[in-house]
Amino acid sequence: MEQERLHPEATGELSNLLYDLCLAAKIISRHVRRAGLSDILGPAGAVNVSGDLQQKLDLFANETVRQSVQYTGRVCVTASEEDEAPVPVPPGKPVGKYVVLYDPLDGSANIDVNVSIGTIFSIHKRVAKKNGTAGLADCLQVGKKQIAAGYILYGSSTMLVYTTGQGVHGFTLDPTIGEFLLSHPRITTPPVGRYYSVNESNWNRWAPSVQRVVGAFKNGEGKVQPKNARYIGSLVADFHRNLISGGVFLYPAATNYPQGKLRLLYEAAPLALVVEQAGGRATDGCRSILDIVPEDLHQKTPLVIGSRDDVAFAARVIGAETAVPAK
């Protein structure tokens, strides 16, 4: 409603689409809070297109998000980490101008041990003609063209954090009235963070430049402020803590993940838009995440994201090594 007040020329469609996603978040949040009491925990017995073992709650969240947006007349196509191909709006149903890309349940490997998990979403405008069929080309758009992005965190409380390119705002779900209430207006992240978040068990699989970056964060080498290690292993949870308190999250390339592990369209790009609107940065070590042109729906990327100066330091060190020609 506030965005509509600031932009009286707007039709309200985007606001309504965000509200559709809020409905999905409420449904998923309810099931997450009942995990362990109903038959929703455990693996589903299949793997997704990226090779990750699917959990029962993954599949439930995937279908919940799609059903919440697909029949509203506001969306033309959706794409998810859990599906091999884009899913256009079914024939005979109203088709809208928006594209929704999403990771339905990030960190789902932690579901069984009650660790915070989340939903990540990205919204683009369609590029296909209005009377044409929306598809892959609508999904393969560069991150800087996103018109909205955000995430829902299912933790001690359920929070929606989003941006439409006019700053970052956080809303907390009040379960007594079933609505998201503005709790964190105009979030900004500190330029230098207190924490670094990385899976250090991969140390021997990293390039020397990545080892130098993590070593500097750990020990405060050179002019880098030393940081405390905080790693949950759930991207949304690690990212949210660093966004609020200041910090840097790294999932670099490694010998077992030469292209990185995180998905560009469903994870890296939407969180990059959020962090940059909050004053931070996001890079693959050489390029801004928002400048990477996707070539594949499930394309993976290395990711360094968080406080501005910390990410800039990592990019300088990693980028310098990458720029040296191999002998």
List, for residues 9-29, the tens digit of each pLDDT value: 567 899 999 999 999 999 999
The catalytic site residues sit at: 52, 58, 81-82, 103, 105-106, 267
Burial 254-280 (b: 16+ CB within 10 A, else e): beeeeebbbbbbbbbbbbbbbbbbbbb
- CATH class held by domain 195-323: alpha beta
Q: Specify the pTM.
A: 0.91
Query: Are 55 and 69 spatial neighbours (Cβ–Cβ below 8 Å)?
Result: no
Q: Which pLDDT belongs to residue 326? A: 43
| Nearest residue to 104 via CA among 134, 67, 51 | 67
Architecture of domain 2-184: 2-Layer Sandwich (3.30)
Domain with CATH 3.40.190.80 in the chain: 195-323
Taking a C-beta distance cutoff of 8 angstroms, is the pair 239, 271 a contact? Answer: yes
H or E stretch covering 155: none
CA within 13 Å, CB half, 152:
26
Kindly give the confidence (pLDDT) of every residue in the chain, 327 residues in length, as a single tens digit, with 9 standing for 90 and above.
Answer: 665 666 565 678 999 999 999 999 999 998 888 765 555 554 544 555 555 556 778 888 999 999 999 999 999 999 999 899 999 999 889 999 999 999 999 987 777 777 889 999 999 999 977 777 889 999 999 999 999 999 999 988 999 999 999 999 999 999 999 999 999 999 999 999 999 999 999 999 999 999 999 999 999 877 888 999 999 999 999 999 999 999 999 999 999 999 999 999 999 999 999 999 999 999 999 999 999 999 999 999 999 999 999 999 999 999 886 654 444
